[in-house]
Amino acid sequence: MHHHLRARLGNNKPLIRWLFDPTTDVPIDSQPYLHGSLLAIPGVAIAGAAAGLLVAVTAALHTGQSKFWVLAGIGVAFLLLQLRAIRRCKRLVRAGTVPSVDLWIALMLGWCALQGLTAFAIGITGDLPMIVIATAFILGLVAPICTLHHSAPRLAVLLVMLCDLPFKLGLVLAGHPVLWILIPLSVPLFVSVRILLRNFAINLATSLKAAEDNRFLASHDPLTGLANRYGLDDQLQLMTSSPERTLTLLCLDLDRFKPINDRYGDATGDEVLVVVAERLRDVVGRQALIARMGGDEFLVAVRDLSPAAADDLANRLAGEIGGRPHILASGDRIGIGVSVGYACFPEDATNATALRSHADAALYIAKREGDVRRHAAGPPEGSIVA
């Protein structure tokens, strides 16, 4: 498992959502990576489980009390369950499935409660060497718990409390009244942990937001907000991976766009491109793939259309874009002409490469002869059929 692991929260109850809330604004698309961070470095948890087992065995050997052997046996069970959960998670990841964090977190809650119970049992013995060992162990758990669960600050504080509070209660019950001071001293510890994790959460949210913005900018046209060329071929390959689902690919090129730029300036040209993008969205909806290929060229990919429906869509796009002018703030009316060429999968092509080629060739004919053109039967001149 690694730091790019994605995971999901299976339990959607309000209390669970509250416990796992990162306590700061995180992009929805980044939240699976937050949950994945809980599973990303299980070796730390396994090392902690082994250390806890060592403490319990040491207490059993040093004090001779059988209850520590029982606690050690429970620790072995938790360790085995954690190893099994790790293997299961790895299998799911290899299979392309997003694993759930529910089981792993349940094991962590149970394990932290076990460490607290073990430390409590050590505390009430009053055995000074074992108390020193338990103190070092419990304090040593704070950092890895916070590191592993920094994406869920409330959960991390709860885990620290499960380890720490029972131990201090055990020390108080050992018969030394002065140790009661440990209880109020816990408050600044938990507050400090919470503040630290809050700062981590803010930094993490800022980093994720920046990464999300960078991903969006890399794959979208900043002017229109449409997709750009980046990753487009991969998306089309995916959309044509199933012959059972049809795909219509439409290539559009604005007519007389250069004269608009020359007469009114680049700002007006940009305004026209934004208007065209809005009209494309209005016609095909946001479920379709709409991309600006650069300049005044656009691409639209729509699934599950028959050839007749594809022809109707192509003509509606041409009518919506070229059928009514755009009115500038000055009152000038700008006519936006458009040529449309399209091809259908699987009727006109058997793969994404051929589909792109055929739609481009149909657009070339549309620009030369006018009107809307579909890929003609047989490979168009100049096309590349893979």
Q: How far apart are the first and last CA of the chain?
A: 38
Does residue 93 contact residue 36 with C-beta atoms inside 8 Å? no
Side chain identity, residue 250: L
- Using alpha carbons, list the distances in angstroms from residue 222 to 9, 232, 278, 294: 33, 16, 14, 11
Tell me the sheet residues that pair with 4. none
Q: Give Rg (Cα) of the chain.
A: 31
Whole-angstrom Cα distance, residue 236 to residue 241?
A: 9
Helix/strand/coil for 163: helix
Tell me the sheet residues that pair with 289. 301
**Displacement of CA 33 from its chain's centroid (Å):** 5
> At which residue do the structure tokens 């092509």 appear?
349
Whole-angstrom Cα distance, residue 249 to residue 290?
A: 10
Q: Give the list of residues 6+ apart from residue 19 with CB closer than 8 angstroms, or none.
A: 152, 154, 155, 158
Smallest CA-to-CA distance from 103 within 8, 34, 199 is with: 8
Whole-angstrom Cα distance, residue 352 to residue 345?
A: 8
Tell me the sheet residues that pair with 249. 301, 343
Give phi and psi for 53, each to the nearest 5.
-65, -40
The CB-based long-range contact list for 78-81 (8 Å cut-off, 24+ gap) reads 78/49, 78/107, 78/110, 78/111, 78/114, 79/46, 79/49, 79/50, 79/53, 81/107
The pLDDT profile of the chain, 386 residues, written as one tens digit per residue, is 444 678 888 877 888 888 888 777 776 777 787 788 778 778 888 999 999 999 999 999 999 999 999 999 999 999 999 999 989 988 888 887 888 888 889 999 999 999 999 999 999 998 999 999 999 999 899 888 888 888 888 888 899 999 999 999 998 888 777 778 888 888 888 888 888 887 777 777 777 777 777 777 777 888 998 888 887 877 888 888 877 889 999 999 998 888 888 889 999 999 999 999 999 999 998 778 999 988 899 999 999 999 999 999 999 999 999 888 888 888 888 888 899 999 999 999 988 889 999 999 999 999 988 789 998 744 444 443 33
**CA torsion, points 109, 111, 113, 114, in degrees to nearest 10?**
160
Whole-angstrom Cα distance, residue 120 to residue 112?
A: 12
Helix/strand/coil for 317: helix
Side chain identity, residue 217: L
Q: Which two tokens stand for residue 20?
A: 């796992």
Smallest CA-to-CA distance from 61 within 160, 130, 124 is with: 130
Q: Which two tokens stand for residue 171?
A: 């020390």
pLDDT in the model for residue 4:
60
Does residue 91 contact residue 1 with C-beta atoms inside 8 Å? no
Task: Count the neighbouring beta carbons within 10 Å of the beta carbon of residue 316.
Answer: 15
Smallest CA-to-CA distance from 101 within 155, 143, 23 is with: 155
Element (H, E) at 352: helix 352-369
Question: Does a cis peptide bond (omega within 30 degrees of 0) precede residue 346?
Answer: yes
Whole-angstrom Cα distance, residue 346 to residue 319?
A: 26
Give phi and psi for 242, each to the nearest 5.
-120, 110
Helix/strand/coil for 200: helix
- Using alpha carbons, list the distances in angstroms from residue 234 to 15, 162, 237: 40, 48, 5
pLDDT in the model for residue 317:
94
